[in-house]
A and B are shown apart, each in its own frame.
Chain A
Amino acid sequence: MNDAAKRITVDQWDRRYDELRAAGLHEPDYGGPLRRHVDGGDRRLRSLQMDNSAASLRLWNFLLTEEDRLHRAKAEGKRIVGTMKDLGTVPIMAYSLNNVVAFYPDGAWWIPCITEHGAGLLEIADSLGIDDSYCPVRAMLGAFVLQTRFPIPDLLTCSVGATCDDVSAIAQRLCDLGFPILWWEVPHRRPPDTGETPVQLPGGFSAPESQVTFVKSELERVRDALEADAAQPLTDELLRTGIWRANRVRRRLGELRRLCFTAKVCPLPALELLIAEMLIIHFCSDQNETIEVLDDLWAEVTRRVQEGIGVLSADAVRVFWVNPVADLRVMNLLEDAGGRVCGTEYLFSHALDPIPEDLPPMEALARTALADPMVGSSADRADRICADAGRFGAEALVISRIPGASHCAMEGTIIGEMVRNRLRIPVLEIEVPPVADSMEPTLRTRLEALVETATHRRLR
């Protein structure tokens, strides 16, 4: 069997799967050929170039079977908690309980892409007055109405305050439709004023102690709700263990990212790394399995790095990517254009940073929630992007706007200017809809121009 690392199509994966099986591939119970997902409606896979490793096969299968996993958990009597908007904090609390499965309903925003609009979720959102002036997260509304994608959660939480108006408005509509929501507040993070006690947050930001105390009190309300729903106490001891487990995942992902961003030859395509990063938000509804999946990827990437092999040319231009793409295919386009991802900020960097384990757990979680890049100013976010892009040697930066997202309207300008001024690298801002086929020539041309510009700068 040829073990050369490369990106292959789903058609090529049919043969590759047979080869892996013949070579003794051992798969978890959700394993199987990728073709079955295409047959089941995940049509976007036909347009993607995917990594050809067994580890990536496991990753894709893990991602694409999440709905089955949620339905099974529900059938087994587990409590299902939908954690909207906070991107990584409440799930840690939920997974500290042994009979709770948490998931991120906002994750439905990728369903229109994966199904190439086959699920009809956006049409339902349209019919409820949430049209395409909203972020694609509006697909979540359709998923709740249809009730076929994921089971209706027993408990729904949503963080509001310093969050995007899209999710806030859509969650309010869900509430109006009869889905009760526990709203919890996260205030706009600000630097401490003179005389206020500063608190260092994971990731390097700081906030006044009063804000941390406030968020902690809000998370206490969430804890009360989780305890009531799960009918078991969520003790500090359980939370400590939960944080330890979450940190284990975060550390593994951190190692994977570092390897991918710093390797001489890109060892893993941007698409698979994006999905791996996304696992961190709610562990794709199975925290233990997330660790296994990331361990496999880490082992594969480590092997490739040690052997000096990868999926792209060694001279690929190093690009830092800001914001997740609504259409996964665009990550392929970057690589087709001669770029590679050497750093990312997908709006949840607070879910990547280790949670302090030397603090009372609720205090640690409050600090983590306040470290959310969307909760602070765009300048804060740009600061971190500059630091990471500089650290990983980015030669260019792409800001991928999310159509309709309230935060995207202005932040790109601030981030772009700061990056230009500090790092002196070219910046490109693009907008990516859920299925970007009609825009592909334009996107391709712009990404190629960015790569060519960065390449030319090498020669100067």
Chain B
Amino acid sequence: MNEIAHCSPFVPPEWIVAHGLRPRWLTPRANGGLSAAAPSARVDEPPMAPADNPPVLGGRGSLSAPEGTRADNPPMAPADNSPADRSPMLPTDVVQGVCPYARAFVQAALADTQAAAIVVTTACDQMRHAAGLLADISPRKHNGRCPVFLLNVPSTWRTAAAKRLYRDELKRFGRFLVELGGKSPSPAQLARVMLDHQRARSALRETRERLSGRQFAEAIAALRGQPTPPRDTGGAPPPSGGIPLAIVGGPLLEADYAILDLIEQAGGRLVLNATEGGERTLPADFDRQRIDDDPLRELADAYFTGIPDAFRRPNTELYEWLGREMAARDVRGVLLRRYVWCDIWHAELYKLKQWSPVPVLDTSAFYEDSALREDNAFHDGAGSLAHTAGRIETFMEILK
């Protein structure tokens, strides 16, 4: 129980590792389960079979475990995160207006029996409230275990005070990790971990052109846990040629990784993953001298000022970064992946279309309740993978 589950790029895994604990990137399934580090489902796989005891929606307004999942069928077992390991569903009145990602995250967090703690950030208002919901129900579900840590990530970024606030939050997070059994690292220990992670990130970046979009995304997700050398994660090899495309947006659910395959199957080549789990949110490179001077300050600066995001106010850096990277990679089309009820990324669709020098395709997703309850299949705005596939194929046809 020394795993710290997180799903925000503003949580530096180096800081967790330096405390002697294990970070784990949490990729929720649409059905509320979770993936250990990176998703593995494929587009052509059939939907997973419904669980033997499908969860029952809780009573209106009730946060209690669903009937039938208490004494005779403990909601948290088994611990292997298998498809049958379904977490209790959120009550029906939580469904309305809730971003599918935030909802899946709550369910995944409740189903997570491995994590010693779950870290959420304030970068998204629904996730901020999700942390509150988890803090309320998680102790009951976990017999008092699995605390939730809410890391304050300022929306403003231009002031010294905002940077200091983030740095202070990392210190507070460090104290939290110590309470969980971690050990406060010396500057030298932290510096060593930071350099290890930096090397792993550099090595990963070098492999980008040799990996498919999914493979690269999975490798980045793995990197947000323990740093490991890039490995062949299986799956389709990268396409040779193809129309260079970028995907932009918020976090991806496990099933959303299918889009990365779809792009390549339709004749595209994903050269820029600017989703929340992608390249866009890797921190800036560390400066060796500044690491020697004050590693925590350098860590905080690299993450806080090095990650452009839509929630930032103003969010000008996101577009500067996109402009730079899209030009460098000769991107010819952009897909925006967003969820219904995600105000932050939804608002960027219009601007992205106005701003982008190349065509932009909106691929919104809402994940119908039936999809959440019955399978882990991919359901988007029209309720089917085929719809999104058709949109992407048409997009490719236009770009040819």
Give the interface of A toward B (CB within 8 A). 128-130, 133-134, 158, 160-166, 168-173, 175-176, 181, 183-185, 187-188, 190, 193, 210, 214, 217-218, 221, 377-379, 401, 403-414, 416-417, 420, 427, 429, 431
Contacts and interface: CB of A to CB of B under 8 A. Distances in A.
Given A378-B132, A378-B133, 19 more contacts: A158-B313, A162-B128, A166-B343, A172-B314, A175-B314, A183-B314, A184-B156, A185-B156, A187-B122, A218-B161, A377-B129, A407-B125, A407-B129, A409-B98, A409-B102, A410-B126, A413-B61, A413-B90, A414-B136
Interface residues of B, number: 49
B152 A187 contact: yes
A420 B59 CA distance: 13
A413 B98 CA distance: 12
Contacts of A429: 61, 93
Interface centre among B125, B136, B315, B349 (most CB of A within 10 A): B125
B61 A172 contact: no
A169 B347 contact: yes
Contact of A221 (B130, B159, B350): B159
Interface in B315-344: 315, 340-344
Given A185-B165, A413-B61, A417-B61, A165 B126 contact: yes
Contacts of B91: 413
Contacts of B152: 161-162, 187-188, 190
A170 B351 CA distance: 12
B94 to A, nearest CB: 5
B125 A214 contact: no
A164 B161 contact: no
A165 to B, nearest CB: 4
A278 B302 CA distance: 43
A427 B161 CA distance: 42
Interface centre among A184, A406, A427, A431 (most CB of B within 10 A): A406
A413 B124 contact: no
Given A168-B311, A172-B314, A161 B61 contact: no
A409 B97 contact: yes
Contacts of A407: 125, 129
Contacts of B172: 193
Nearest to A177: B351
Given A183-B156, A417-B62, A410 B314 contact: no
B96 A409 contact: yes
Contacts of A193: 172, 175
Contacts of A160: 155-156, 313
A129 B360 CA distance: 14
Nearest to B162: A185
A413 B154 contact: no
Contacts of A172: 313-315, 347
B24 interface: no
Nearest to A378: B132
Interface centre among A128, A158, A404, A413 (most CB of B within 10 A): A413
A162 B346 CA distance: 19
B135 interface: yes
Nearest to A220: B161
A410 B132 contact: yes
Contacts of A221: 159
Contacts of A184: 156
Nearest to B130: A410
Contacts of B90: 413
B350 A188 contact: no
Contacts of B232: none
B252 to A, nearest CB: 19
Contacts of B340: 133
18 contacts: A133-B343, A158-B313, A163-B125, A172-B314, A183-B155, A183-B156, A185-B154, A187-B165, A188-B150, A190-B152, A379-B136, A401-B97, A406-B126, A409-B102, A410-B129, A414-B132, A416-B61, A417-B62
For the complex of A and B, 7 pairs with smallest distance between CB atoms: A129-B350, A169-B347, A165-B343, A409-B97, A406-B125, A160-B155, A165-B125
Contacts of B98: 409-410
Contacts of B200: none
Contacts of A427: 61
B99 interface: yes
A370 B15 CA distance: 29
B347 A170 contact: yes
A161 B122 contact: yes
